[in-house]
Amino acid sequence: MAGNTVLVLAQKELRDALRNRWFLADAVALLVLSSALSLLVFLTGATSPVSGFGRTAASLVNLMLLLVPLMGLTLGALALASDRERSALEFWLAQPVGTGAYFLSKALGIGLALAAAVTLGFGASAVFLLFVGATDPLAFLALTGLTILLAWTSLTLGLLLSSRCSRTSTAVSLALGLWLVLVLLGNLGLMGTALAVRLPPSWLLGIALVNPTEAYRIAALRLLAGTLELLGPAGLYADERFGATLPHLLASMLLLWSLVGGFATYAILRREVLR
């Protein structure tokens, strides 16, 4: 019954996602921008008899870094706070639904919606990129999976924020703040620190990897370029220290972030529900 409950509610969440303007706007932006970028690669590559992972294709990683965490965080932030604000949380939990099943279905439904949006964006890009051989198909497929993991990590972080907020506006503001920290301010601080105290490469790498978006960036570059030499001494250190296992390691980190975020959210939500 619990499994069926999760499926029924996850299905409802997917339908909700299709009506969610944030989600639709983000998904369309992802699709349009990634297609446009890939089209640019295609146009460059079509005039060239050689191909490879170039700066335009690398911009796709940048685009994903920009949009995917934003999607995940905002959708996650909206999910619980919005239900609480509209008394939907009370309504659903008055049904024969446990807190765990409710949370799992929420995460599953939105997670699937995010995965679909990412897959759609990547699918459209892949047509252009692979047509000119800008990347290896398997690497691109792995990148799609990695991006879905990033989306899920962002989603659980958004849910975590949402679990403590009673107002949607507060949750979304916090999510936007966290997004800014993850994709920009955190790195800006790290860059300043690296300059000021001359961090050893291992430290720079270690500190950066605390940030899940950085874990994604490094894993994505490793997948697409096949090496991290382009990231200078810290990249060389990462290659040297972890070798080919690095993308697996980073993907596991993202998965760990998702799981820890998910469990923390569930624990808070359960406490909140029984308060």
In terms of CB distance, is 134 or 246 closer to another protein?
Answer: 134
In terms of CB distance, is 53 or 103 closer to another protein?
Answer: 53
Q: Which amino acid is at 155?
A: L
Instruction: Please compute, for residue 102, the number of CA atoms within 13 A of its CA located in the half-sphere on the CB side.
Output: 24
CB of 90 to another protein, least distance (A): 6
CA distance 14 to 11: 5
CB of 12 to another protein, least distance (A): 5
CB of 65 to another protein, least distance (A): 6
Q: Which amino acid is at 12?
A: K
Q: Which amino acid is at 154?
A: S
CA distance 43 to 62: 19
Number of Cβ atoms within 10 Å of the Cβ of 57: 24
In terms of CB distance, is 133 or 177 closer to another protein?
Answer: 133
In terms of CB distance, is 58 or 260 closer to another protein?
Answer: 58
CB of 93 to another protein, least distance (A): 6
CA distance 77 to 190: 26
CA dihedral 83, 114, 228, 256 (to 10 degrees): 50
CB of 76 to another protein, least distance (A): 17
In terms of CB distance, is 32 or 229 closer to another protein?
Answer: 229
CB of 161 to another protein, least distance (A): 21
CA distance 171 to 89: 15
> What is the maximum span of the chain, computed from C-alpha positions, in angstroms?
65
In terms of CB distance, is 260 or 272 closer to another protein?
Answer: 272
CA distance 113 to 120: 10
Q: How many helices (H) and strands (E) does the chain have?
A: 12, 0
